[in-house]
Amino acid sequence: MRNMLLGGKLLAIESGEGSITLDHLRSALQSLQPLSDSDYSRLCDSLNVPEEGPRTERFTTSLLEETASLPRVPYAPDVIRLLERLKQQGLDLSSRVTEPYVNLGDRKGRYHTVVSSVAELKALLSSRIFDQDAAVEAVSDAVMRMSWSELSDRPQAIFSFLGPAATGKTYMAQLMGQGLQGYALRSFDMTQFSSEKESFGLVGLRKGFSDATTGLLTDFVKQHPRSIIVFDELEKSHSRVQTALLRLLSEGWLRDEYSGEEIDFRQTIVVFTSNLGSSIYSNRTFAEQARKQPHQAREHLLQAISQETKIEDGHQVAAIPPEMISRLSQGSIILFNKLSIDALARIAQEQIQHERKSFEDKLGLSVEFKQFDLLVRLLVLGFAPGFDTRAVKSRLTDQVYDPVTDYLLAHENAHVEQVELSIDAGVEVFLQSQDMGKLPQQMATKHQRVYFRHQLALEDTRLKVVLTDARIEKLARGEDFTDASGIQVDLPEVSFEQIAGHVQIKARLSETINLVSQREQLKAQGISVPRGMLLYGVPGTGKTMLAKAFAHEAGLPFIACAGNDLLNESFIRKLFARAREYAPAIIFIDEIDALPRRGTAGPHADALVNRMLVEIDGFAGGDDIFIIAATNRKDLIDPAILRSGRIDLHFEVPQLDKEARRWFIERMLARPLFSQGIDVDQLVMLTAGFSGADLEKVSREVVLLALREGLEAIGPELVTEQINTQKYGAPLNLEDGRQHLLETAYHEAAHAVISRVLLPERRIEQVTVVARANFLGMVAYDNEQEHDYTREFLFNLTCVALAGRAAQIKQFGDKGLDSGAAGDLKQAASYAWHAIAEWGMDEQLYNLSIPALQDWLKRLPFAAQVEERIKHWLDEATAHTASLVDTHWRQIDRVAQQVLSDEIIDAATLQQLME
């Protein structure tokens, strides 16, 4: 009813009457047509207007909306009664039942002219813009909408051309200026507006300043209301310059600061171009998404662009302010693709033909091409792996005409009239055997380029240039693997088989490779693909070598950097941008703990971590980048980096096992200074817990000592002394070292066996005599397993803690009573304290929480009773533990001997020994 009432109001105003009557509503209804047939019938019946009666084209939607803003006109009494009756029937004043009538009979055929002009524009764009069919289609659709859309409070169209550099964005805007009749074109290079004050260049400077003048933008649109305005590389202009354009985009007007005049932009077409978002353009997943789900890809791209920053006036700011991103999102977002080989070949053909004419005119030589398409394709492949369009256009003809001019300079007396360029049969076979759809990605991933040779021969007056010996080769590292930022891309050749030992960690890494390689299957199941893993452990355990082997086994490019490199935000951007060029790829960050935690080193450090998080998260398919980080100090890494969905696979790289240490020791003993017959097995046993760096130090120190002392040969005693010095900090003889291992083996074996006896549900991962942190040996439990801390459980834990010392005393007598049990005794006392003092589990101090009482009473209550009951608990546990050790001694002995032999035994082996 709203349109009918507004129409009646307009007719009442035009007739000069003081109220809206039923006749006004009848006349209005005859200029409207139904939106809802049933409601429209009720209106016609109520006003006695035939539904199929003659209609007149009287109103437009904008005219009716303007009428709504005019002063109120009252309803006549009979109109009020009608409205009440209709309201009872469910029709209120705001109901939209009708729309303005349009006499299509007078307009038939108009679309032919519109369609023809849009088709001409589309044909022009398609003929000059290569490999951007989706962009051409989107622009054509938008121009078609312009032909029937009414003038609104904003420009006729707002385009955002987004995509990699040199893909035709600016050229597309220029061609639109040629193809759209009646539009003037003006481009603004936004790199020229990088200062806050330079917005005056666009909108003018107020009078009173010495250089006051009208704005270039506002003056141009004033002279040419129908125009195409191109803002090229928007992100490079100052934020104030960008925000000065906001009113233009939201209201369609802009004030010229010099003249004070409001300039109407509602008939303009505004085009913004930007190269931002480079981090995801090269991502294959995003490219596929842009093809299948363009709307979703646009959202991802806008999100990525909104995260881009720049330094402005000494501060880090958004490259494009959020309010500008919001305005752009309301217009047409046009995505431009990276160019394919076919598109680059078409560009190359035009460039070669253009320079051919100049070559022939200036030098008087005719140029003929044989198998031109294949020849050009070969030339383009010589620009791998980057395939930069500008480089192709500027340097391509060097490969065509430079060999000719070089020949002419070297043979001044030769008589040449014609030049013929061709490829030989081998090159033809080579090109036809390649999959041009997959080859660019292959060469990018493997850092390859197509190379070929020029063969020149003069036959009569015809100089024949034949391209021959086409081949794919890896780029030279010095020229192509390293850019100015020091970012290196490599394909490591070391495999897991070439890394000695580390059986368990290599198995875990192999499982991870399977996960990374099965990304499509995981996505199909709705499971996110791992983004990264952390290798942590003491120095010298081979973390870097394992990371390289991981890349080799996965068949992925390996991009390495050090943690200190991450202290530069620009480097972080370049690192991930480079990785995405080679995606899928691996980024290896050594000593990632160099990147400080947020809140510990100031705003700059916080910004670095935030940038790192943004890059790890990525947009539209960041799964193509897998991060391997290495650290000796896991605790120093910002938790947000390690949380789920980021670098969430954490693997401890343990000290070298027997096989790995044997490899180092045999390599050391192979040197000429070392005596023959040194017992390798003995040295392997003595170096339990040594890292590769430790073993290298032993080798270096022994050799230096021998040279200083003038020794002709290095015997086993010298090597043993250096190992003991390295391991214990003081000279130890061989027997002392073995005694320590024996004691540790029985100590840890007792822990493991008694744990299995008393707490069979508690999962043991491994038993080892390999040193870790402050432990000579240890029993490792599943830390993620949850337990019900009952009194029985805590008492059993106490017995397990005391079992190590009990076994040492049983096996070695008084010699087994040493300080090695200090940590165990502390643990046992802790279990007793928690059970008795904190959790009220003792029958004599039942339900008492001593710490809570202490907080309230400001003194330690029941101190004597607590001490007595803890003593009783530990005495009872000691006696029970001794009995258990006696009962299960054969099992303890078996486990001790096995762990002495293998150094590490897993849960399955422990179970077999127990049985």
Task: Tell me the three-class secondary structure of 560-604, residue by residue.
Answer: EEEHHHHHCHHHHHHHHHHHHHCCCEEEEEECHHHCCCCCCCCHH
Does position 794 have pLDDT exceeding 90, yes or no? yes
pLDDT greater at residue 828 or residue 576: 828
Residue 797 pLDDT level (bands cut at 50, 70, 90): very high
Residue 731 pLDDT level (bands cut at 50, 70, 90): very low
Q: Which stretch of 150-154, 604-608, 871-875 has the lowest confidence by average pLDDT?
A: 150-154
* Chain centre distance of CA 830: 46
Domains of the chain and CATH, by start: 2-104 (no CATH), 112-335 (3.40.50.300), 341-433+454-470 (1.10.8), 488-652 (3.40.50.300), 658-732 (1.10.8.60), 736-914 (1.20.58.760)
H/E stretch holding 905 reads strand 904-906
Q: Which stretch of 276-290, 555-569, 622-636, 746-760 has the lowest confidence by average pLDDT?
A: 276-290
- Give all strands (DSSP E) within 16-95, no chain letters: 32-34
Does position 784 have pLDDT exceeding 60, yes or no? no
Active-site residue 748, yes or no? Answer: yes
| pLDDT, tens digit (0-9, with 9 covering 90-100), for 562-605 | 888 888 888 898 888 888 777 788 999 999 999 988 888 888 88
pLDDT computed for residue 908 by the predictor: 83
pLDDT computed for residue 330 by the predictor: 86
Mean pLDDT: which of 127-131, 175-179, 239-243, 488-492 is highest?
Answer: 239-243
pLDDT computed for residue 13 by the predictor: 93
Phi-psi region of 694 (alpha: psi -120 to 50; beta: other; left: phi over 0): alpha
Residue 222 pLDDT level (bands cut at 50, 70, 90): very high
Q: In the predicted model, what is the mean pLDDT of residues 212-217?
A: 91
Quick one: angle between helices 863-887 and 734-758, nearest 10? Answer: 100
pLDDT computed for residue 455 by the predictor: 95
Type of residue numbered 830: S
Does position 284 have pLDDT exceeding 70, yes or no? no
| pLDDT, tens digit (0-9, with 9 covering 90-100), for 869-897 | 999 999 999 999 999 999 999 999 999 99
Does position 548 have pLDDT exceeding 90, yes or no? yes
pLDDT computed for residue 732 by the predictor: 40
- Selecting among 257, 553, 581, 748, the annotated active-site residue is 748
pLDDT greater at residue 203 or residue 117: 203
Q: In the predicted model, what is the mean pLDDT of residues 156-171?
A: 88
Q: Are 745 and 899 in contact (CB under 8 A)?
A: yes
Q: Note the pTM of the prediction, 2 decimals.
A: 0.49
pLDDT greater at residue 438 or residue 747: 747
| pLDDT, tens digit (0-9, with 9 covering 90-100), for 13-36 | 999 999 999 999 999 999 998 887
| pLDDT, tens digit (0-9, with 9 covering 90-100), for 177-196 | 888 878 999 999 999 998 88
Residue 147 pLDDT level (bands cut at 50, 70, 90): confident
Give the rounded percent of residues in the chain with a pLDDT score beyond 90.
Answer: 40
Q: Who's near 77: CB < 8 A, 6+ residues apart?
A: none
Task: Tell me the three-class secondary structure of 337-350, residue by residue.
Answer: CCCCHHHHHHHHHH
Does position 779 have pLDDT exceeding 90, yes or no? no
> What is the Cα–Cα distance from 829 to 835, expressed in whole angstroms?
10
Q: Are strands 315-318 and 309-312 parallel, antiparallel or unpaired?
A: antiparallel
Half-sphere CA count of 498, side-chain side, radius 13 A: 12
> What is the Cα–Cα distance from 451 to 912, expressed in whole angstroms?
61
| pLDDT, tens digit (0-9, with 9 covering 90-100), for 649-697 | 999 988 888 888 888 899 899 888 899 888 888 788 778 778 787 888 8
pLDDT computed for residue 867 by the predictor: 94
Q: Which residues of 53-66 are buried (b: 16+ CB within 10 A; e: fewer)?
A: eeeeebbeeeebee
Does position 769 have pLDDT exceeding 60, yes or no? yes
> What is the Cα–Cα distance from 478 to 787, expressed in whole angstroms?
57
> What is the Cα–Cα distance from 93 to 99, expressed in whole angstroms?
15
Tokens matching residue 166: 């040199």
For residue 468, the tally of other CB atoms under 10 A from its CB is: 14
Residue 110 pLDDT level (bands cut at 50, 70, 90): low
Quick one: angle between helices 658-669 and 692-709, nearest 10? Answer: 20
> What is the Cα–Cα distance from 66 to 605, expressed in whole angstroms?
56
Q: Are strands 227-232 and 269-274 parallel, antiparallel or unpaired?
A: parallel
Average pLDDT of the chain is 86
> What is the Cα–Cα distance from 760 to 450, expressed in whole angstroms?
63
Q: Who's near 92: CB < 8 A, 6+ residues apart?
A: 1
Task: Tell me the three-class secondary structure of 467-502, residue by residue.
Answer: EEEEEEEECCHHHHHECCCCCEEECCCCCHHHCCCC
Give the rounded percent of residues in the chain with a pLDDT score beyond 70.
Answer: 92
pLDDT computed for residue 477 by the predictor: 43
Q: Are 215 and 188 in contact (CB under 8 A)?
A: no
Q: Which stretch of 107-121, 322-336, 406-420, 527-541 has the lowest confidence by average pLDDT?
A: 107-121
Does position 773 have pLDDT exceeding 60, yes or no? no
Does position 106 have pLDDT exceeding 80, yes or no? no
> What is the Cα–Cα distance from 385 to 391, expressed in whole angstroms?
12
Q: Are 124 and 175 in contact (CB under 8 A)?
A: yes
Closest CA to 836 of 804, 874, 786: 874
> What is the Cα–Cα distance from 897 to 909, expressed in whole angstroms?
12
> What is the Cα–Cα distance from 300 to 296, expressed in whole angstroms?
6
| pLDDT, tens digit (0-9, with 9 covering 90-100), for 59-97 | 888 788 888 888 889 999 999 999 988 888 888 777 778
